[in-house]
Structure formats: C-alpha cells, structure tokens
Amino acid sequence: MLPAVPRPSQRDLRPTLVLGDALDHYGAWPSPTVIVSDGAYGVSGFPGDPPTPDGLADWYAPHVEAWSRRALPSTTLWFWNTEIGWALVHPLLAQHGWEYRTCHIWDKGIAHIAGNANTRTLRKFPVVTEVCAHYVREVKLDAGGVKVPMKAWLRQEWERSGLPIGRTNEACGVKNAATRKYFTRCHLWYCPPAEAFERLVAFANTHGRPEGRPYFTVDGRRSLTGEEWAGLRSKFHCEVGVTNVWHEPAVRGAERFKSEARALHGNQKPLKLLDRIIRASSDPGDVVWEPFGGLCSAAVAAFSAGRACYSAEIASHYHGLAVERLARVAFREAPLHAAAPRPARAGVRVSAA
C-alpha cells in the first residue's frame, strides 16, 4: 500500500525539539514532506564535525539511510553545505535513491569578507557562498515483479491493456498531448496530472482486456487514484522572480544570535531562505524534519509557514537556546539574542534523548 501523507492538525503544528542524536529519533517522527539538512561541513565547526570534507560521506551515511527509509515518495531534501562538501556527499545520496534537481548558490555578498581578506597572501579568491542542493525521491513502481520508473510504469500499464498508444489521447480528451507528453519514451516525458491519470485509468479499465483488470495498479487489487498518483511526486511551488542564485547577506542585526558581542552560531541561516525552500516544497500542515537543529532556524521558518517541524540538537547549549527561541516564536514574542535559556513553555514540545 502507498504510505499515507500525514496531515497534522493545527494543534500539532507546535515545533518538536529533542536533545540528542537525530538517529535515535527518526523512527518516532512522522514521515517528512521536507528535510532540511544543515549538518557537518568538514570544517571542525562543532564536536564531531570532520576536520576535512573527505570524511563527510561516512558522517552522513547513517542519516541518509534513515532519511531514505522514512521518506515519502513525495519527500524533498534540501542539503546545505560547501561546494566540495556537497560534491562528496552527492554519490551517497544518489545511491540511496535521491534524484538531483538543482544546486542553489547562497551569495552572501562582498561584505561577508570585508576586512578579512588579505589579497597579498591569499592563494585563492575569497569565498562568500554556500550551496543548497535540491533533491527529490526517485520513485519506482512494480511492473510484473520489476521496479521501474513512473514513466516506464505508466506506459507498461497502458500497453498491458492491449489498447493502442494513440487512444491515450482519446482517453484524456486531447488532440495529441497524451502521446507527445505522457507516453513518450524520450527525455521530454511529462507526468500526467491527477485528472488526466484518472481518465487513463477509467478508459483502460473500461476498454482494455478484461482479463488484465485492474490497470494502473501496484497491488493487483485496485487501480491507483488520482490523489495517490499525485502523491508520488514531490511538491514544488515556483515563486516568480526567484532563481538558483540567492543574493542574501549573512545573518546579522536582530536576527543574529549573539552573546557578549560574539555570534553564538557560526553558520546561522537566514530565515528568508529557509522560508523560501520550505514554502516551495510543502503545503500548510505538512511535516518538516530538521535533523541538525543548531538554533532551529528551519523550525522557526516552518512554524511561521504553518508546517509541523521535528528538530534534533545534540549539543545541550544550542538545544537550550533553541528551546527558548521556539517558545518565543510560538508565543509571537521578539526572538531572544543574548540571554541564558529558560525552561520550555507550552508553545514547544521538548524531550531528551
């Protein structure tokens, strides 16, 4: 059976934050629509972060395995890292069925290195970027005991009905869009929307070989519904004017967490960018995972966007700060920047490993 997409109630949209390793908690979290990964960069940025990017694939391996096991067919992964860090982890993601979509460049601007770049001694150009790679699940369906991609499965199910490919246009009520887009064998394949899929199902089950019914089935007992078919694809809402290059300064000012004039987190992500990727790949009520919480900026963005976020942070200091931050956000208070953490309040659910 296809996994049901969880739809939390408004009451369940409170952020959930655990103190401990996310590996110990994935099994208790509902399957995610979105995973925001902002973990090790291979720069010794925190205890356990490898000193070089060379060890990143091994570091991420158990997490990627868990993500792949718990993901929905429609799950989207946003993987933050350095350019080389992402490049070294990409083969691991591909091995576990994550399909690469595109790489986004966070351009922090020249101000990011102002006063910190001695061009007389540098042996490379100053770095002012990070990357956020976009992945979706590679969905395969059963066709005669063999797992095949959606494109091949769709065509095989129609051919199994004994009907000519040309009649797919009749089924969909179009001149030639079905044969050109939905049933082409080439790279120009277009996934039929739910309504078109339901038309194909109804037509095949009505006019196809009786002995082969039902058609477009994954269990041999019933056909997939249009809603189930749509649920096999990741969500994406493309905002007008946004490209894969994000010009956004590093976090500073009121949004930056500081203590005694020093930043508490060396790599705090802008809420603007996290809000962008979460809204682009999910709908209100969907579940977001933040395996490497830090200050839990993804949870803040998710809550503000009406999504239910599950975060883990292994360092008690950051966990305490994140608890306070999420509690304040849940109560619509000003964010905390330089204060000792206080006990969690009712707006955030907290547990320890």
Residues 6 or more apart in contact with residue 2 via CB below 8 angstroms: 73, 218, 224, 228, 231, 232
Q: Tokens 């490993």 sit at which residue?
A: 353
Contact present, 165 and 194 (Cβ < 8 Å): no
Question: Which residue type sits at 20?
Answer: G
Under CATH, to which class is 18-138+245-352 assigned?
alpha beta
Angle between helices 194-207 and 150-160 (to 10 degrees): 30
Residues 6 or more apart in contact with residue 334 via CB below 8 angstroms: 328
Query: What's the rounded Cα separation, in Å, for the pair 108 and 322?
Result: 24
Handedness of CA 142, 5, 293, 258 (dihedral sign): positive
Contact present, 34 and 78 (Cβ < 8 Å): yes
**Six-digit token string for 209:** 């070989």
Q: Tokens 């304040």 sit at which residue?
A: 328
Q: Tokens 């953490």 sit at which residue?
A: 341
Per-residue pLDDT of the chain (353 residues; tens, 9 = 90+): 444 444 445 556 889 999 999 999 999 999 999 999 999 999 998 889 999 999 999 999 999 999 999 999 999 999 999 999 999 999 999 999 999 999 999 999 998 888 888 888 999 999 999 999 999 999 999 988 899 999 999 999 999 999 999 999 999 999 999 999 999 999 999 999 999 999 999 999 999 999 999 999 999 999 999 999 999 999 999 999 999 999 999 988 777 766 554 556 667 999 999 999 999 999 999 999 999 999 999 999 999 999 999 999 999 999 999 999 998 887 664 443 333 333 444 456 765 54
Whole-structure pTM over 0.85, yes or no?
Answer: yes
The gap from C-alpha 124 to its chain's centroid, in whole angstroms, comes to: 33
**Six-digit token string for 341:** 């953490």
Query: What's the rounded Cα separation, in Å, for the pair 15 and 300?
Result: 8
The gap from C-alpha 199 to its chain's centroid, in whole angstroms, comes to: 30
DSSP 100-111: EEEEEEEE--GG
Query: What are the residue ranges spanned by the domains of the chain?
Result: 18-138+245-352, 141-230
Whole-angstrom Cα Rg for the chain? 23
- Please report which residue ranges of 81-184 form alpha helices under DSSP H: 83-95, 150-160, 167-172, 177
Closest CA to 113 of 131, 129, 130, 126: 126
